[in-house]
Amino acid sequence: MNQIDAASARRAELAKALADTRSKIPSTCTLIAVTKTFPLSDVKILYDLGERNFGENRDSEGSEKSSHLPPDAIWHFQGEIQSNKIRSIARWADYIHSLDDIGHAEKISAAANHGAGGKIVNVFIQINLDEKLESSNSLRGGISPAELDQFTDSISRLTGLAIVGVMGVAPLGVDPSPAFAQLQELSQELQNKLPKARFISAGMSGDFEVALKYGATHIRLGSSILGRREGHL
Ligand SMILES: *Cc1c(COP(=O)(O)O)cnc(C)c1O
């Protein structure tokens, strides 16, 4: 296959996968194409196909890709937050899905107020939905469900940052329903305090149809649109 054929084959492949996926998701729900590890050329094709929300989990990759897309593309950071990357992340990301640390929230606020030119960074509070938190070899980020109230109080007065909802990743290898049900309850708890913070970021390629049943408003899809990833998660 020559290069032009390869590019149009990829375009056809992404168009089909995107259309198939969209057909399973209500239009009221935001579909985030998780483009981490995939090339800029794929992001551009998805943009041409009408996709506007893109998810990345590394600062360097998100920063680079976002600089090549038109300004109406919306960028979601959903990876582990490293303190020394926050200034940069706050520059390119419109949404941060993985907030679970008060110190990080303060840095995001400071970056938004100073570095990033008066912009508001939207944040989801990530909640760890793994049942056995105590065993604590959980690799996932997130505050524990019991901490939500206090965590919210600690960060809700920060300027430059808007709490928009909760985010969770269902545990692997078990029925995701209980975890998503719990996240929906926690969303309600958050809304009792902050009525505007009504978003629920939940559901990946393997479980988004279940997440939809439990009120997901933002679904993060990588492999079901772009194919299998090599290398890092
Ligand atoms: C990689 C990733 C996704 C996308 O995963 P897929 O299974 O490829 O859809 C969604 N959310 C988070 C937090 C991720 O790290």
Classify residue 174 by burial, with Cβ atoms within 10 Å: 0-12, 13-18, 19+: exposed
Ligand 1 in reach of 204 Cβ (< 6 A)? yes
8 Å CB contact between 38 and 63: no
Q: Which atom of ligand 1 is the closest one to the Cα of 78?
A: 13
Residue 19 confidence (pLDDT) above 90: yes
Q: Phi, psi at residue 68, to the nearest 5°?
A: -105, 0
Eight-state DSSP code of residue 143: B
Specify which residues 219 forms β-bridges with: 31
- The confidence band for 1, taking pLDDT boundaries of 50, 70 and 90, is confident
Q: Please report the pLDDT score of residue 6 as a whole number.
A: 87
Classify residue 37 by burial, with Cβ atoms within 10 Å: 0-12, 13-18, 19+: middle
**For residue 230, how far is its CA from the centre of ligand 1 (angstroms)?**
13
User: pLDDT digits over 140-186, tens only?
Assistant: 799 999 999 999 999 999 999 999 999 999 998 899 999 999 999 99
Is residue 176 classed as helix, strand or coil in its secondary structure? coil
8 Å CB contact between 33 and 226: yes
Q: How many other CB atoms sit within 10 Å of the CB of residue 175?
A: 11
Q: Please report the pLDDT score of residue 148 as a whole number.
A: 98
- Kindly report which listed range (64-68, 125-129, 147-151, 169-173) carries the lowest average pLDDT score: 169-173
- The confidence band for 2, taking pLDDT boundaries of 50, 70 and 90, is confident
Please report, as a single letter, which amino acid is at residue 24: K
Q: Please report the pLDDT score of residue 114 as a whole number.
A: 81
8 Å CB contact between 60 and 232: no
Mean local confidence (pLDDT), 34-62: 98
Classify residue 233 by burial, with Cβ atoms within 10 Å: 0-12, 13-18, 19+: exposed
Reading the block at residue 184, the tokens are 């929906």
**For residue 221, how far is its CA from the centre of ligand 1 (angstroms)?**
6
Q: Say how far apart CA 49 and CA 70 lie, in whole Å.
A: 14
Q: Please report the pLDDT score of residue 233 as a whole number.
A: 53
If you average pLDDT over every residue of the chain, what do you get? 93
**For residue 32, how far is its CA from the centre of ligand 1 (angstroms)?**
10
Residue 116 confidence (pLDDT) above 80: no
Ligand 1 in reach of 205 Cβ (< 6 A)? yes
8 Å CB contact between 69 and 46: no
**For residue 134, how far is its CA from the centre of ligand 1 (angstroms)?**
24
Mean local confidence (pLDDT), 122-147: 81
